[in-house]
Amino acid sequence: MIYWQHLTRQANEAQSRAAFVDAHELNQKALACAKATFPSDFDNDAESAVSAVIVSYLNLAEVSVSMKEWSQADGYFSQGVSFLEQVINAPNLPSDDRTLIDRTASHIRFEWDLFKQTYGSKVEAGKRLGNFALATSAMG
């Protein structure tokens, strides 16, 4: 968890300097770190373990917005929700942990809805452009 905190702090500093590529890379490393230690961290402190992963996804979405990578940001929200769905479906999950995950999922869905309200048309435009590029390359 200490390494995750270090990476997250560095990513936040990079973002505040508008070094978005560095911030994105550091946030990806932080996410990988949080996910790698998740099972043992979850057993020791479920709230901190879940928070580390979800904060990493939200930070990645935020830096993607700063880079105007709307579809990428949308994908990070989606991945965060999918992660929580996997965790909540674990067998023998204690009810306190289930409540924590439900609360966290509600929060990330709320943030995702705000993102879609603000940038939804840009996400859709990017998808249309991506589909057009795929169709064009398939024709050539």
pLDDT tens figures, 57-110 = 999 999 999 999 999 999 999 999 999 999 999 888 899 999 999 999 999 999
Q: Check whether 38 has a pLDDT greater than 90.
A: yes
Whole-prediction pTM: 0.86
pLDDT at 129: 59
Question: How many whole angstroms separate alpha carbon 54 and alpha carbon 48?
Answer: 10
Could you tell me where the DSSP H helices lie in the chain? Answer: 2-16, 20-36, 38-44, 46-66, 70-88, 95-139
Q: What percent of the chain has pLDDT over 70?
A: 89
Q: Which of 6, 62, 58 is nearest to 29 (CA)?
A: 6
Domains defined along the chain, listed by start: 2-134 (1.25.40)
Considering the chain, what is the average pLDDT of its residues?
Answer: 89
Alpha-carbon torsion (2, 106, 32, 12), positive or negative:
negative
